[in-house]
C-alpha cells in the first residue's frame, strides 16, 4: 500500500509541476499581478470598456474573435479608432499584438477627446506598430522614414535598433509603455528599446521641428484615454493590462522667470514683452483681435496666485483647462476664463468658451475690490470639479462643475479684441495639487 500511495503522490507532484509550467490563460491576471495592482482592459469575450473615439458607444470595424480584439482593416487616417472609457495618467501598460503582412496600427495614450480634435494622434503620443518590410513591399517605391517604423515614439523618438527583437508577421509580440510622471519607456518582447523624458527643452524642440510643429496640443496632456488604431490593415490584440503608478508631488513652481517667455507660447496677434522691471506685458496686436499667451504645459489641479495691473483698458482674462486648435496663428480658445476686466465687469467670475457663457459672476457689491491702475492679486484654485477665486484677499466666487473637473489644459492670458488694451503681470506662483 505504501508503494501505491507513493506512486500516486509522485504522479500528483508531476501533474502539478506540468500544470504550473503551462502559460497563463490569455486575458487573465495571475494572483501576483492582481496583488501588484494590474487591471485587465480586455476580458477576452466582449469590448466592454471600449468605445469609438469621440463617441459614447462602439461603432463598426472592431470585433472579438478567439479571445482577441480584432481590427477589421476598414479604418484609415481619419477613422477606425477605439478608446478606453477610463482615463489614465501614470502607468505601466502591456499588451500582445500581431499584424497581417504590411500591417499598420498603433497604441496611443493620453488622448484628449473633444469635437475640435478629429483624430486621436493630434493629442496622444503613439507607440507605432507596423510591418516595415511588408508595408514597403506593398507600397513600393514608397519608403518609411525612421520615425514611422516599429516601436518608435511616433515622429519624436527612435528606438535602439540593437535591442529590437520582432517576431515574424502572424506571430504574437508583447509591447509595454511606461509613463511615470514624464519619464517614458517603450519595451518590445522583454527588451527596453526606447527611453526619454517628456516636457524637457529637447522634447519641445522635437515637437516644434517635426510633424507636430503646428499641432499645438500634441503630447501635452498628462492624462487621457488609451487608443487602439485601425489604420487600414487587420490587427489583433490581447492580454491588454495596466498598472497605475502614483502621481509625484511637483510642489510650487513659478510660471514666469521675469526675463523672457520661456515656458509660454503665443497664439493669435497680441503683442507680448518683458519690461525693464521684469513684468510681463500683454497688449493689442496691430489687427486689434483677440490674442493669447499660454503655458506650454498643461495643468489640471492647482492653486495659482498672480498679480496684474491694468495700464489702460484692462479687458483681459486668465484662462485655465484651455487649448487652441488650428495652429499658432489661430486665436480660438476652448476652455474656461477667470475674468480680468475693468470695474463693473466681474473680475474673478468664471466664463466658459465651450458654449455655456457665464457660469458664475461676482456679486455687485464686490466690484469695488479691484484697484484700477494699481497692482491686484488674483488667486485661482482648481481642484477636481471645484473652482474658487479671490481678488486682493477677498473671496469672489465658488463653483462646482463636473465638465471643468473632467478636463485639463493650458493656463492662458487673454487680450480682448478692441483698442488700447494693455495689462502687466508678475509673480506667477502655481502649486500643483
Q: pLDDT at position 99, please?
A: 96
For residues 142-161, give the mean pLDDT. 97
The contacts of residue 281 (CB under 8 Å, 6+ apart) are 272, 273, 274, 275, 311, 422, 423, 424, 425
If one compares 23 and 88, the residue with the highest pLDDT of the two is 88
Q: pLDDT at position 87, please?
A: 98
- HEC assignment per residue over 309-334: EECCECCEEEEEEEEECCCCCCCCEE
User: Which percentage of the chain shows pLDDT scores above 70?
Assistant: 95
Cell, residue 13: 507532484
Q: pLDDT at position 271, please?
A: 94
Question: In terms of Cα–Cα distance, which of 249, 247, 286 is closest to 269?
Answer: 286
The helix (run of H) or strand (run of E) holding residue 426 is strand 422-432
Q: Read off the pLDDT of residues 16-71 as tens digits, 9 standing for 90 and up.
A: 444 344 567 899 999 999 999 999 999 999 999 999 999 999 988 899 999 999 99
Beta strands in 173-331 (DSSP E): 173-180, 183-188, 191-197, 224-230, 235-244, 252-254, 264-268, 271-274, 280-283, 291-295, 302-310, 316-324
For residues 364-378, give the mean pLDDT. 96
Residue 125 reports pLDDT greater than 80: yes
Residue with cell 469575450: 45
> What is residue 300's DSSP assignment?
S
426: Cα separation from own chain's centroid: 28
> What is residue 78's DSSP assignment?
T
Cell, residue 162: 540593437
The contacts of residue 158 (CB under 8 Å, 6+ apart) are 146, 147, 152, 194
Cis? peptide before 274, omega within 30° of 0? no
Q: Give the whole-angstrom CA distance, residue 306 versus residue 312.
A: 19
Burial of 182 (0-12, 13-18, 19+ CB in 10 A): middle
Under 8 Å between Cβ of 52 and 11: no
Name the CATH superfamily for 25-244. Answer: Exo-inulinase; domain 1 (2.60.120.560)
Q: Give the whole-angstrom CA distance, residue 176 versus residue 194.
A: 11
395: Cα separation from own chain's centroid: 32
Residue 103 reports pLDDT greater than 50: yes
User: Which percentage of the chain shows pLDDT scores above 90?
Assistant: 83
273 forms beta bridges with 281
318 forms beta bridges with 338, 413
- Please calculate the CA angle 10-11-14 and round it to the nearest 5 degrees: 85
262-277: b (≥16 Cβ within 10 Å) or e: ebbbbbbbbebebeee
The architecture that CATH gives domain 252-432 is Sandwich (2.60)
For residues 272-288, give the mean pLDDT. 94
Q: pLDDT at position 16, please?
A: 41
Residue with cell 513600393: 140
Cell, residue 127: 507607440
Under 8 Å between Cβ of 289 and 271: no
Under 8 Å between Cβ of 433 and 320: no
Q: pLDDT at position 75, please?
A: 87
Cell, residue 389: 477665486
Q: pLDDT at position 18, please?
A: 40
308: Cα separation from own chain's centroid: 30
Q: Give the whole-angstrom CA distance, residue 201 versus residue 189.
A: 31
Under 8 Å between Cβ of 91 and 37: no
Residue 10 reports pLDDT greater than 70: no
CATH 2.60.120.560 spans which residues of the chain? 25-244, 252-432
DSSP-derived 3-state class of residue 392: coil
For residues 312-339, give the mean pLDDT. 91
Q: pLDDT at position 420, please?
A: 85
Cell, residue 196: 526619454
Q: Give the whole-angstrom CA distance, residue 257 versus residue 225.
A: 33
The helix (run of H) or strand (run of E) holding residue 35 is helix 31-36
Q: pLDDT at position 417, please?
A: 87
Mean pLDDT across the chain: 93
Residue 132 reports pLDDT greater than 50: yes
For residues 87-94, give the mean pLDDT. 98
Residue 3 reports pLDDT greater than 80: no
Q: pLDDT at position 22, please?
A: 57
Residue 307: CB atoms within 10 A of its CB come to: 16
For residues 267-290, give the mean pLDDT. 93
Under 8 Å between Cβ of 291 and 331: yes
Amino acid at each position: 500500500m505504501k508503494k501505491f500511495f507513493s506512486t500516486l503522490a509522485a504522479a500528483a507532484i508531476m501533474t502539478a509541476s506540468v500544470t504550473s509550467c503551462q502559460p497563463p490563460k490569455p486575458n487573465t491576471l495571475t494572483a501576483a499581478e492582481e496583488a501588484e495592482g494590474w487591471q485587465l482592459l480586455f476580458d477576452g469575450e466582449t469590448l466592454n470598456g471600449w468605445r469609438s473615439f469621440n463617441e459614447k458607444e462602439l461603432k463598426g470595424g472592431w470585433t472579438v474573435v478567439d479571445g482577441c480584439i480584432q481590427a477589421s482593416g476598414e479604418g484609415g487616417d481619419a477613422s477606425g479608432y477605439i478608446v478606453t472609457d477610463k482615463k489614465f495618467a501614470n502607468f505601466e501598460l502591456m499588451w500582445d499584438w500581431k499584424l497581417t503582412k504590411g500591417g499598420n496600427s498603433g497604441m496611443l495614450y493620453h488622448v484628449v477627446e473633444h469635437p475640435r480634435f478629429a483624430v486621436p494622434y493630434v493629442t496622444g503620443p503613439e507607440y507605432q506598430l507596423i510591418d516595415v518590410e511588408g508595408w514597403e513591399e506593398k507600397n513600393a517605391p514608397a519608403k518609411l522614414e525612421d520615425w514611422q517604423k516599429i516601436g518608435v515614439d511616433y515622429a519624436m523618438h527612435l528606438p535602439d535598433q540593437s535591442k529590437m527583437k520582432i517576431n515574424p508577421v502572424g506571430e504574437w509580440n508583447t509591447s509595454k509603455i511606461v509613463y511615470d510622471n514624464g519619464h517614458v519607456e517603450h519595451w518590445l518582447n522583454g527588451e527596453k528599446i526606447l527611453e526619454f523624458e517628456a516636457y524637457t527643452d529637447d522634447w519641445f524642440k522635437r515637437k516644434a521641428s517635426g510633424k507636430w510643429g503646428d499641432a499645438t496640443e500634441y503630447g501635452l496632456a498628462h492624462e487621457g484615454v488609451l487608443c487602439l488604431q485601425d489604420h487600414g490593415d487587420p490587427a489583433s490584440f490581447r492580454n491588454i493590462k495596466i498598472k497605475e503608478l502614483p502621481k509625484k508631488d511637483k510642489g510650487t513652481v513659478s510660471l514666469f522667470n521675469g526675463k523672457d517667455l520661456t515656458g509660454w507660447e503665443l497664439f493669435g496677434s497680441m503683442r507680448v514683452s518683458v519690461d525693464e522691471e521684469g513684468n510681463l506685458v500683454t497688449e493689442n496686436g496691430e489687427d486689434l483681435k483677440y490674442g493669447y499667451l499660454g503655458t506650454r504645459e498643461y495643468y489640471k489641479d492647482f492653486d495659482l496666485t498672480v498679480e496684474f495691473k491694468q495700464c489702460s483698458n484692462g479687458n483681459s482674462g486668465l484662462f485655465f483647462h484651455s487649448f487652441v486648435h488650428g495652429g499658432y496663428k489661430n486665436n480660438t480658445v476652448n476652455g474656461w476664463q477667470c475674468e480680468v476686466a475693468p470695474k463693473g465687469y466681474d473680475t474673478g467670475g468664471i466664463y466658459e468658451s465651450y458654449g455655456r457663457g457665464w457660469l458664475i459672476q461676482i456679486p455687485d457689491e464686490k466690484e469695488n475690490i479691484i484697484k484700477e491702475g494699481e497692482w491686484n492679486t488674483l488667486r485661482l484654485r482648481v481642484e477636481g470639479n471645484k473652482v474658487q477665486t479671490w481678488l486682493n484677499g477677498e473671496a469672489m466666487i465658488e463653483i462646482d462643475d463636473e465638465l471643468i473637473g473632467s478636463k485639463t489644459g493650458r493656463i492662458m492670458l487673454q487680450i480682448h479684441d478692441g483698442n488700447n488694451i494693455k495689462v502687466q503681470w508678475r509673480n506667477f506662483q502655481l502649486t500643483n495639487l
